[in-house]
Amino acid sequence: MQHRPEIPEAIAALQRLVELFSLRRRQLAAEAGLSEAQWRLLEEVAGESFMPSLFARRRDCTPAAVSRGLRALLDADLVRVDVSPDDGRHRVYRLTPHGRRVLRRLRAGRERAIAAVWERFDAGALSGFVRFADELADQLASYAGVAPSEAGPPSVRGSAAGASR
């Protein structure tokens, strides 16, 4: 089937973006001595309601893989674990001071990259990109037979968080 020439070009551009985003995440994680998976896990532990089993389900990985990741973070003194005061069967994971410093460094590196790359684009170009990306994501989700909410959150529009990224 012959497609309009701009379609394969757009797909190639998107693939290039995905690869470069992944490369930058790997680089940032490596600078902190982590893998991408460990970084994601560290970010989750930093949240208030981290539960390993829910994290495993959301990431479509095994509880054993999450347990290995947590063990690596514990061994690196990035995370500590305590018994829940409410239910002795549950464990509460928290960042250590070292873990907080590493996470701050990771976030600062990400913010430097955002400032160096994204700030160069005017608001109109970014708004157009967001609209197109959201529409493309909705179309792909629909074609894949999943609800858009199952394919990730929509872009943040008009909030301070969205404006800073």
Residues in the chain, how many? Answer: 165
- As its CATH architecture, domain 6-120 has Orthogonal Bundle (1.10)
| Tokens at 69, concatenated | 């990741």
In tens, the pLDDT along 14-35 reads: 999 999 999 999 999 999 999 9
Q: At 111, give phi and psi (nearest 5°).
A: -65, -40
Amino acid at 4: R
Domain boundaries, the chain: 6-120
Query: Rounded to whole angstroms, how far apart are CA atoms 41 and 45?
Result: 6
In tens, the pLDDT along 34-74 reads: 999 999 999 999 987 888 888 888 877 888 888 899 999 99
